[in-house]
Amino acid sequence: MTDFLRRLLRSPQGALGCLVVGLILIAVVFGPYLTHYGPEDMQALARYKGPSAEHWLGTDQYGRDIFSRLLDGARSTVLMAVVATVIGTLGGAIIGTGSAYLGGRSDEFIMRTNDAVMAIPSLLMALMVVSLLGSNSVNALLAIAIAFMPSMARISRSVALTVRKQDYVSAAIARGEGAPYIVLREMLPNVIAPIVVEMTIRVSFAVMLFATLSFLGLGAQPPATDWGLMVSEARQYLHRSYWILLWPSAAIALTAIGFNLLGDGLRDALNPRT
Amino acid sequence: MSASYILKRIALIFYTLFVVSILVFGITQILPADAAVMMLGENATQDALDALRTQMGLNDPIWLQYLHWASGVVQGDFGTSLRTGQPVGPALFSALGTSLTLAVLALALMLVLAVPMGILAAVRRGKLSDLVVGFISYIGVSLPEFVTATLAVVLVADLWGLLPPAGYIPLSEDLWGGLQRLILPVCVASVMMIAHVSRMVRSELVDVMHTDYIRAARLKGLTPRRVLFRHGLRNALLPTITIVALDVGYLLGGIIVVEEIFSIPGIGRSLMSAIQARDLPVIQAGVMIMAATYSIVNFAADLMYAWLDKRIQYD
């Protein structure tokens, strides 16, 4: 484990990814303690302010402190994205490994149907699910989880199939180990690693998808501090201040970059060949 | 590549459309929207609603409604929009034309930029240009379309006043005006793919340049340029076809956002407004058309791949 961490931190992507994701996690956990403004405190005299010592990132159209709002938004945006990805991955992994386990005609049938569902772009899928369930954050979360399932199913199936054919699995079978031992001790640890890598990269997509849904008015509703919603609201006040638009956009991009870098770093660290 | 493989792939497209049709029909059936109320308004009498429901077949069992709808779709009849009362098919297909113009231009821009970027990064691996290309592609995959679009409008249209911020003019009416309004949407729609594809080209080319046949070509005394263009690129660019085809799914999703922000009357915008207004026939037809586009593009990509790479033997 320490060896793995050393490998992760030695690659530039891994180190940078750990740093950015670490900062984001600090913001998510300790957010409210890092600022003395509430996300909805309005100051009529301090509207559209640029960055200053008092308001680090400036204030928005109601004189709300943008830094406090971003920290508050990190909780919903990032947490929701992570939870959506985890649910989507679990669902996909169950479908994928189940299909690989069943094999034969059922495998063919499940995967063809899965591929068919993938013909619907994931944003469109998420839009349909949200319109079915109603526009709010929890439904957006479910929508993203569902939209992620087909591609995660495809990935976990292919990983499970390769692992199944490995010599160490054949060796375990030859040793006469039972099925639970083979699945849990031999296959699972080797299936999890690539899926975790994929999942980390997926979180950045989930952040972006979640923000896009909020931007289109189909996710969180005002006065929520979702970053996508903040961008969408800021568009009307552009002639007064560019900062209100810039900061939430930068927050989305930084989070996505962080998880992308971490995912690439994890992949390299798990793959000693490269 | 055998005829039976092609037939099998075509059958798969139909299976895909069948699954998508069931899915989209199912979702739109559960949607809390009453087509009869939408057409007649909230104040309609119960008798009038009942009459219309019977006439539209809304009282039939769901499978019968599905069969009725599906047989219409097979004959090219997508029903009538609940909102406008117009036939869905012609309106959506003309919107599809607009979207395809946008998508094809975005794909072209992507290929022109991403392939040279990937080659440059691979050839100068570890050097400054590799780092710059890597940096650009990390930024690119991390910016959702609505952010790039908003920033582009602010900078290029509002601040510098170089291009119109939104709107659409058909190219056949006013070529220059139409192109001017397409520049920003095309750039925004292609950013994510430029970032992704340039990364893929780089890693493919790096892998290929480490193979034995490249070493053989070098040892044979070929110039580095000839090794790269005749032996390296030919093999490295082939998988790009598949990657681009899969990215078309992403592009179709991104186009929804781009059309919404730049007010382009394409299929994405029709779908967005249909979803907001619960216009079921338009949602159903729009999703079907998008899925069909994706399937056909991927089918074409597979055929092209097999045609270009004779080693591939599908069965």
What confidence tens digit (pLDDT) does each residue in A74-119 have? Answer: 888 888 899 999 999 988 888 887 887 777 888 889 899 998 888 8
Nearest CA in chain A to B16: A116
| pLDDT above 60 for A273 | no
pLDDT of A274: 43
pLDDT of B1: 63
Q: Rounded distance, CA B224 to CA B44, Å? A: 78
Which one is predicted more confidently, B151 or A135?
A: B151
Check CB contact of A28 with chain B, cutoff 8 Å.
no
Lowest mean pLDDT segment, chosen from A98-102, A144-148, B135-139: A98-102
Lowest mean pLDDT segment, chosen from A197-211, B200-214, B301-315: B301-315
Check CB contact of A79 with chain B, cutoff 8 Å.
no
Where does the pLDDT of residue B296 fall: very low under 50, low under 70, confident under 90, or very high at 90 and above?
very high
Check CB contact of A102 with chain B, cutoff 8 Å.
no
Per the CB < 8 Å rule, is A128 touching B138? no
Lowest mean pLDDT segment, chosen from A23-37, A70-84, A113-127: A23-37
pLDDT of A243: 80
Lowest mean pLDDT segment, chosen from A56-60, B109-113, B195-199: A56-60
Mean pLDDT, all residues of chain B = 85
Where does the pLDDT of residue B38 fall: very low under 50, low under 70, confident under 90, or very high at 90 and above?
low
pLDDT of A86: 93
Q: Please report residues of B whose CB lies closer than 8 A to that of A262.
A: none
* Sequence-ordered strand ranges (E) for A206-254: none
What percent of chain B clears pLDDT 70, i.e. is strictly above it? 94
In this structure, is the dihedral angle defined by the CA atoms of residues B102, B248, B14 and A98, taken in order, positive or negative?
negative
Per the CB < 8 Å rule, is A245 touching B150? yes
Strand partners, B87: B80
Lowest mean pLDDT segment, chosen from A85-89, A205-209, B60-64, B293-297: B60-64
Where does the pLDDT of residue B33 fall: very low under 50, low under 70, confident under 90, or very high at 90 and above?
low
* Number of CB atoms found within 10 A of residue A33's CB: 8
The mean pLDDT of A37-44, rounded to a whole number, is: 72
The mean pLDDT of B288-310, rounded to a whole number, is: 87
pLDDT of B197: 92
The mean pLDDT of B133-146, rounded to a whole number, is: 89
* Å between B173 CA and nearest CA of chain A: 31
Amino acid at B281: P
* Selection from A160-169, B81-90, B245-254 with the highest mean pLDDT: B245-254
CA B14 vs CA A29, A115, A154, B10, B74: distances in Å: 49, 12, 20, 7, 11
pLDDT of B315: 56
Question: Which letter does DSSP use for residue A237 in this model?
Answer: G
B 249-278 → A contacts, CB under 8 A: 249-250, 252-254, 256-257, 260, 271-272, 275-276, 278
Q: Specify the CATH number of the domain B89-308.
A: 1.10.3720.10
Which one is predicted more confidently, B22 or A131?
A: B22
Q: Please report residues of A whose CB lies closer than 8 A to that of B299.
A: none
The mean pLDDT of B211-225, rounded to a whole number, is: 86
Token pair belonging to A217: 């008015």
Q: Rounded distance, CA B156 to CA A182, Å? A: 59
| pLDDT above 70 for B30 | yes
DSSP secondary structure of A147-189? HHHHHHHHHHHHHHHHHHTSHHHHHHHHHT--HHHIIIIIIHH
CA A176 vs CA A100, A173, A179, A181, A185: distances in Å: 22, 5, 9, 10, 14
pLDDT digits (tens, 9 = 90+) for B65-122: 888 888 888 888 888 887 787 888 888 888 999 999 999 999 999 999 999 999 999 8
Only one residue has tokens 């640029």, namely: A50
Q: Where are the domains of chain B?
A: 3-74, 89-308
Q: Spell out the residues 6+ positions from residue A217 whose beta carbon is closer than 8 angstroms to its own.
A: A135, A232
* Å between B149 CA and nearest CA of chain A: 11
| pLDDT above 80 for A41 | no
Q: Rounded distance, CA B143 to CA B123, Å? A: 27
pLDDT of A53: 66
pLDDT of B18: 92
The mean pLDDT of B55-61, rounded to a whole number, is: 74
The mean pLDDT of A152-177, rounded to a whole number, is: 86
In this predicted complex, what is the ipTM?
Answer: 0.85
| pLDDT above 70 for A214 | yes
| pLDDT above 90 for B211 | no
Q: Are A154 and A115 in contact (CB under 8 A)?
A: yes
Lowest mean pLDDT segment, chosen from A130-134, A248-252, B29-33, B236-240: B29-33
Out of B139, B271, B292, name the one closest to residue A253 (CB): B139
